Structure 1
Amino acid sequence: ILNEAGTLQPVGIVGELCISGVSLARGYHNRESLTLETFVPHPYDTKQRMYKTGDLARYLPDGNIEYAGRMDHQVKIRGYRIELGEVEAALLSIEHVQEAVVLSKENADGQNDLYAYFTAEQSLPISQLKEKLADQIPGYMIPSYFIQLEKLPLTSNGKVNRGALPIPEVGLQTGTDYVAPRTSMEEKLVCIWQDVLKVKEIGVKDNFFDLGGHSLRGMTLVAKIHKQFNKSISLREVFQYPKVEEMAKAIAEAEACGPDYIPAAKEKDVYPVSSVQKMVYLSTQIEGGELSYNMPGILALEGKIDMNRLQTAFQRLIQRHESLRTGFEMIRGELVQVIKPQMEFSMERYKAAPDEVEELFRAFVRPFDLSQAPLLRAGLIELEQDRHIFMFDMHHIITDGASMNIFVEELIQLYDGRELAPLRIQYKDFTEWKLQKEQRERIKRQEEYWLGVFHEELPSFELPKDFARPPVRSFDGKRHNFVLDKTVIQGVKQLEELTESTAYMILFSAYSILLAKYSGQDDIVVGTPIAGRMHEDLQHIIGMFVNTLAIRTAPMAEKTFMDYITETKETMLKAYENQEYPFEELVEKLGVKRDLSRNPLFDTMFVMQNTEQTDIEVDSLAVRPYEQTNTAAKFDLQLTFVIDQDEIQGSFDYCTKLFKKKTISVLAKDYVMILSAILRNPSIPLREIQLSEKVNKSKHLASTIELDF
């Protein structure tokens, strides 16, 4: 725009180009709304307007303006913001290409794909185009379809008629030459990929991670491959052989391991518990920990609710999953599961105003008696006739994050009158199966790995704190939320390609660097949860499967980030390969001295959730997420990320008996600074990464921070 001095002034890094000095009388004939949208008020002259051209421009350091494409040519593909003109320019730079147009079109799954139309002096193979484009633009900007035309269709005024460009037939996609499965193995593997990735068209040269794969989906893939082929490949091999044809060869060469079948347990009065259930039970016995393992949820319901249908759906769900009918008792010094054959269930009902929901929800989340099933409660708040808030609360001893998703999805399906496929096994069958000789031997082999990781002296890690640690661990907590902007998100995705790692590994590495900077130590142990559903039979069962991995890294100052992320990737892959070893057994084997004031082995967690919360329409009822405010601090500090296609939402859960709100706010700012530094320069030495404030290596943060400003 023009400033008061009459010189050009930038409107940001990339701004919309406007032409100043347009008369107030100008506009679109009989189209007042379009005129108001396009002819905007001038910031310094009320008698003039500015015309929004629809072009994007960059203000360069030398005073020139660089054209950066059209506003209406910006699109979003799988979370990436893409300028179509940039892709077109890259295509035009390829030898023999004469004209190029790139469009974004929605596919059958509701996602957008890029279509590249071009004319050329000769026939050009797709593989050659992709190879040339890969030298100029990131992989996510390479079109899914390439269509060579004799000439581009034009409008009457000589512009490209984008609406007349043909839709290609299926089979030209992925930016590589589409190659259909050639063997029975490849056909079956493509079907598994389609199920895991929710992508319909997959060729044997497609890359698992390019199509949206990540570590969690990789582990699901491994479980399905075992089930389908009776062959076992590791998550490491998913990284090593990310293409269908490569993975099919790896599976063919793997030794047959026989069917991994979880048998149904014999009928008994009581059943053993899992190691993780034991840990949860013991943790809830600590004074003040009664609510620390509650897992509440809350949803907004809009539309007419049929209470009879909802009540019936609950009864059917409780009958379907034995975990929802399970209590826990100590018998002869052993904790056991007691499953009730049937159970009646009724919801709590309330009427309230919207501003009373938070208080009602807090009162709704209360301690469970673990001996009394069901360890589940549900409530419905009526705000007005067709507006309700649905609350539910389960104890962690019978559920985990994946189970919560199963609970909501199946409740909605049952409410909708749908029939669910019967479950072949239940959680009790899993706990009995884990006691079999073969399973115990596998756990023993994994134990050797973990004891090797911690054979050296355990680090005495201590973050600077605002308050002295209380003698008994406090669960009082609060949450600090932040969002990573689109520039950071795009940088993370580019760094994934550069390092052949995942967003999880990159964000985790940045967190361990933050902890090293704050503590002044370079031997860091961070806990991270793992889904624990390595077997395909467990994918649809409600239960507590999640295990905790203690990831030990060494973010030493002299290392570059590229060195460190390579080490971290290797550490995590090894941890994933040995993920079934129960954390509680590791603590016992290491002889970690129990301290009521803190967790054993580590006091900080890193969590990443790749699942998205989405709106659901059922009959005349809309189900939408409702933001929770409830927070219990299971650890001193926990960093959680939730990733969807548009943004990465972060949050620090912290113990209020140890940290002030302001301290955590600064911590979050420093984390983003670290992440930005490594994205700008992945080869940066860790010692050169700066924080916003100089943090002294003392145990009391408030008295030792020197402000730089």
Structure 2
Amino acid sequence: NNIPIGRPIPNHNVYILNTSDQLQPVGVPGELCISGVGLARGYLNRPDLTAEKFVDQPFIPGEKLYRTGDLARWLPGGNIEYLGRIDHQVKIRGYRIEIGEIETALLNMEAVQEAIVVAHENNNGDKALCAYYVASETFAVSEMKEKLSVQMPSYMIPSYFIRLEKMPLTSNGKIDRKALPLPDRNTQTGVKYVAPRTSIELKLVEIWKEVLSLKQLGIRDNFFDIGGHSLKATSLAAKIYKILNLRVSVRQIFNHPTIEQLSRIISAVEDQSFTSIPAVEQRESYPVSSAQKRMYILHQLEGGELSYNMPNLMVVEGELDITRLESACIQLIDRHESLRTSFKLLDGELKQLIHDKVNFKVEVRKVRPEDLDEYIQGFIRAFDLKQAPLFRVQVLEFTSTKHMILMDMHHVISDGVSMNVIMQELFQLYEGAQLPELRIQYKDYAVWQQNEMNQEQIRKQGAYWLETLGGDHPVLQMPTDYARPATRNFKGARVEFTIDEHRSEALQQLAIQTGSTLYMVMLSIYTLMLSKYSGQEDIIIGSPIAGRPHADLDRVVGMFVNTLAMRNYPTGEKTFEQFASEVKENALRAYENQDYPFEEIVETLDVTRDMSRNAIFDVMFVLQNMDQEARKVEGLEIKPFEWEYEIAKFDLTLSVVEWNGQLNCMLEYATSLYEEATIVRMTKHFIHLVDNILAHPHTKLSELSMVLEEERMQLLADFNDTKAEYPRNKTIHQLFEEQAKRVPDKVAVVIEDKQLTYRELNE
């Protein structure tokens, strides 16, 4: 701002000038150039490009000037306005990318004969790199990304790779960029289709199709490139065991992510007898599962009565038939025993009671839109766990063609996967569908789980958790706005933020480079942020896992979720890539031992209970990548309705949802500890940390900063601006005595519950 042409910017060895030596303030565009100490002197092995980009500096003999390729103009007020690019250098997510460098790296790959990289722009103005290449063989996209990651940072690696038979040319022999095919989601994998060749490969293809909801895939497709993640890997292992009678671990799926590789592992494993979960005989009461026991105890805590409600709100446009909806709900309750289950202490032991019939009715109320908040608050109320059903539905009628369905249930009888099942089946029943009978119910799982607890495998899992979490476990010391109350009150709020499509894609690429998943990369970043806030290098974060270890449990409604304590060590000397690899290994070990109930871990460790904190950890991380079933009902348009639910089960919970190529994030926080402004700043720190990691994944954790530029300036300049005028002809004690005369009864000193006024201190 207001820097004359050819003069250095203060405190920087950088000059602003133009090839024609000035940019006209009348608005004529020109090219920006820079010169400075430490600037690169040329392009490696590219003398032609060096001569074109590095020209003689007119103000300092012997110095070179770099032509940036930025088109800009001076404005009358002295500012420079950026107009765009004059060459094929592009800016994506704030990073300047020299496309020629990527093309050179591609041409260095064996078998690649021609390559061109193009930045495609979508309707929102966002850009993504697409690499087109001609080669004598087809590369897997993951292979190409891995080769490029050795030579350049993640933000320079193209999102798409398209192999061409030959490059399209214009009449004068140049590449016709307009004739290049547009990329789509399919071109992100780019693996040549290879059909199954053996009976095992054929069966694996069918299992993968079911788990990934795909119509076609080949034996060389990478599980994690075509929609797989940790949760689906667990489901895949369970289905392989059920259908092929073979136990495959989640770790083996990570290490052998194609059907071709996995089939070799399976061929070397002996058949193992798959055992179904048996249906138990009818009883007056049944044991509860470990997860149900946890939910029951948490429900009893003061202030926790609403903490584990699971409200689900939907706006319905069209001719909603209330009678059919109520009938579908009743059929759903008849179908799933969990929806007609209550809980009771019998002889000091918690039991679940299954009722043959329960009273249920869908309430209908006519409301005005301005009264909606009041109705929702009145609907979400505490459940009495001794009274079934722990499930209620209400319909709010705005007009004859616009309604809202309010649904609520207690977490003790349901979880996220169960909610998906319930919503899918509810509308199937509404449309008159006949659903297949369920062989087992949740009570059968609870009995089976108790029997399983005696097995050697479960005892080994307990030993793993005792080793991982035993001894002194860290208590996270986060800086808070308010002192921690003596007991938790569960009051909370949420701040939402978005990680855009390009950052999300770069995070996916980083996951590929580290051989991990998006979950593991995001957990690594979250752990690092907490470490930087707390100054601690031993962090435990809770993370829920679906907890359905058996293929028989796919369609059973109930509370299966288990909680894994993810303990990681973000020490400053590790690079982020090293740390992410450690997080991956620790996560895989946790998955392998996920059947051991969290409640048993707490009891085994004999953790000292602090009523102001949760046991073992105070922060959570959740990545929601469960398949969200589309709710399509003929004649109805059904949309989810977001409502601020003012509950926080933990000090901090970071939730991430993959949606339309972006990551929709939400930071839930305890309002007894944090102000909203603090959490908003925390979300900015998180995104800034993401950007630094994507730009410098090989950098040490201690050198990765989450401090924003404006905060850095505030710390270095504003907070150090302590100059103040004062009387230079008086001593300190004279100035104090004058103050004591002016305000003798004002408080001067406070320590704990004692205080002194200026008069008392002076005396």
TM-score class normalised by the smaller sequence: 0.7 to 0.9
Tell me: CA distance 1:93–1:622, structure 2 relative to 1, closer, same or farther (3 Å).
farther
1:472-491 equivalences under 5 Å are: 472-491=487-506
2:19 is matched with: none
Tell me: CA distance 1:460–1:98, structure 2 relative to 1, closer, same or farther (3 Å).
closer
1:548 paired to 2:560: no
Shift of 1:172: 12
1:126 is matched with: 138
**Aligned equivalents of 1:458, 1:437: Cα separation in 2:** 28
Residues 465, 659 of structure 1: 8 Å contact kept: yes
1:46-65 equivalences under 5 Å are: 58-59=84-85, 64-65=86-87
Residues 118, 152 of structure 1: 8 Å contact kept: no
2:634 is matched with: 619
**Aligned equivalents of 1:359, 1:160: Cα separation in 2:** 61
1:646 paired to 2:661: yes
SS where residue 516 of structure 2 aligns?
Answer: coil
**Aligned equivalents of 1:317, 1:132: Cα separation in 2:** 49
Tell me: CA distance 1:9–1:320, structure 2 relative to 1, closer, same or farther (3 Å).
farther
Q: Which amino acid aligns with 1:323?
A: S
1:532 paired to 2:547: yes
Q: Which amino acid aligns with 2:29?
A: T
1:95-494 equivalences under 5 Å are: 124-127=136-139, 135=147, 138=157, 140-143=159-162, 148=165, 175-436=190-451, 440-494=455-509
Shift of 1:163: 10
Tell me: CA distance 1:602–1:126, structure 2 relative to 1, closer, same or farther (3 Å).
closer
SS where residue 433 of structure 1 aligns?
Answer: helix
Tell me: CA distance 1:464–1:257, structure 2 relative to 1, closer, same or farther (3 Å).
same
**Number of paired residues?**
623
Q: Which amino acid aligns with 1:514?
A: M
Residues 161, 187 of structure 2: 8 Å contact kept: no
SS where residue 294 of structure 1 aligns?
Answer: coil
Shift of 1:380: 0.8
Tell me: CA distance 1:173–1:358, structure 2 relative to 1, closer, same or farther (3 Å).
closer
Shift of 1:8: 5.0
**Aligned equivalents of 1:437, 1:412: Cα separation in 2:** 35
Q: Which amino acid aligns with 1:141?
A: Y
Residues 505, 661 of structure 2: 8 Å contact kept: no
Q: Which amino acid aligns with 2:88?
A: E
Unpaired stretches in structure 2, ≥5 consecutive residues: 1-22, 33-74, 76-82, 93-98, 121-128, 149-155, 710-717, 722-763
Shift of 1:457: 1.3
Q: Which amino acid aligns with 2:270?
A: E
Shift of 1:391: 0.8
Shift of 1:596: 1.8
Residues 133, 142 of structure 1: 8 Å contact kept: no
Residues 426, 541 of structure 1: 8 Å contact kept: yes
SS where residue 287 of structure 1 aligns?
Answer: coil
**Aligned equivalents of 1:708, 1:497: Cα separation in 2:** 44
Alignment counterpart, residue 676 of structure 1, candidates 683, 691, 697: 691
2:671 is matched with: 656
Alignment counterpart, residue 688 of structure 1, candidates 694, 703, 707: 703
Unpaired stretches in structure 1, ≥5 consecutive residues: 11-43, 45-56, 75-83, 105-113, 166-170, 695-705
Q: Which amino acid aligns with 2:400?
A: Q
1:5 paired to 2:24: no
Q: Which amino acid aligns with 2:195?
A: A
Greater shift, 352-361 or 127-136, is seen at 127-136
Shift of 1:254: 2.3
2:649 is matched with: 634
SS where residue 142 of structure 1 aligns?
Answer: strand
Tell me: CA distance 1:377–1:282, structure 2 relative to 1, closer, same or farther (3 Å).
same
SS where residue 562 of structure 1 aligns?
Answer: helix
Tell me: CA distance 1:652–1:201, structure 2 relative to 1, closer, same or farther (3 Å).
same
Tell me: CA distance 1:439–1:250, structure 2 relative to 1, closer, same or farther (3 Å).
farther
Shift of 1:173: 11
Shift of 1:419: 1.9
2:88 is matched with: 66
Q: Which amino acid aligns with 1:393?
A: D
Q: Which amino acid aligns with 1:463?
A: M
Greater shift, 87-96 or 184-193, is seen at 87-96
Q: What do residues 280-300 of structure 1 show as CA deviations (whole Å, max 9, x unaligned)?
A: 111111111110111101011
Greater shift, 478-487 or 434-443, is seen at 434-443
Residues 145, 513 of structure 2: 8 Å contact kept: no
**Aligned equivalents of 2:681, 2:246: Cα separation in 1:** 49
Shift of 1:421: 2.1
Q: What do residues 610-656 of structure 1 show as CA deviations (whole Å, max 9, x unaligned)?
A: 13657533110111111121131111111111112321011111111
Shift of 1:185: 0.1
**Aligned equivalents of 2:470, 2:341: Cα separation in 1:** 38
Q: Which amino acid aligns with 1:126?
A: T
2:7 is matched with: none
**Aligned equivalents of 2:189, 2:319: Cα separation in 1:** 44
Residues 196, 221 of structure 1: 8 Å contact kept: yes
Q: TM-score, normalised by structure 1?
A: 0.80
**Aligned equivalents of 2:315, 2:274: Cα separation in 1:** 43
Residues 294, 395 of structure 1: 8 Å contact kept: yes
Residues 141, 188 of structure 2: 8 Å contact kept: no
**Aligned equivalents of 1:691, 1:103: Cα separation in 2:** 29
Q: Which amino acid aligns with 1:289?
A: G
Q: What do residues 97-146 of structure 1 show as CA deviations (whole Å, max 9, x unaligned)?
A: 68999999xxxxxxxxx9999989xxx44359997787568575123xx5
Structure with greater Cα Rg: 2
CA RMSD of aligned residues (A): 3.9
Residues 58, 65 of structure 1: 8 Å contact kept: no
**Aligned equivalents of 2:629, 2:141: Cα separation in 1:** 37
1:600 paired to 2:615: yes
**Aligned equivalents of 2:180, 2:571: Cα separation in 1:** 58
**Aligned equivalents of 2:220, 2:687: Cα separation in 1:** 36
**Aligned equivalents of 1:555, 1:99: Cα separation in 2:** 40
Shift of 1:442: 2.5
SS where residue 424 of structure 1 aligns?
Answer: coil
Alignment counterpart, residue 561 of structure 1, candidates 576, 598, 616: 576
1:32-47 equivalences under 5 Å are: none
Q: TM-score, normalised by structure 2?
A: 0.74
Tell me: CA distance 1:225–1:615, structure 2 relative to 1, closer, same or farther (3 Å).
closer
1:13 is matched with: none
Tell me: CA distance 1:131–1:368, structure 2 relative to 1, closer, same or farther (3 Å).
closer
Q: What do residues 232-263 of structure 1 show as CA deviations (whole Å, max 9, x unaligned)?
A: 11111111000111111112222333113100
SS where residue 626 of structure 2 aligns?
Answer: coil
SS where residue 246 of structure 1 aligns?
Answer: helix
**Aligned equivalents of 1:96, 1:450: Cα separation in 2:** 49
Greater shift, 557-566 or 528-537, is seen at 557-566
Residues 358, 629 of structure 1: 8 Å contact kept: no
Q: What do residues 656-707 of structure 1 show as CA deviations (whole Å, max 9, x unaligned)?
A: 111111111122222222222111111111111223379xxxxxxxxxxx97
SS where residue 377 of structure 1 aligns?
Answer: strand
Greater shift, 527-536 or 171-180, is seen at 171-180
SS where residue 436 of structure 1 aligns?
Answer: helix
Q: Which amino acid aligns with 1:263?
A: P
Shift of 1:400: 0.7
SS where residue 236 of structure 1 aligns?
Answer: helix
Q: Which amino acid aligns with 2:348?
A: G
SS where residue 622 of structure 1 aligns?
Answer: strand
**Aligned equivalents of 1:602, 1:497: Cα separation in 2:** 29
Residues 615, 622 of structure 1: 8 Å contact kept: no
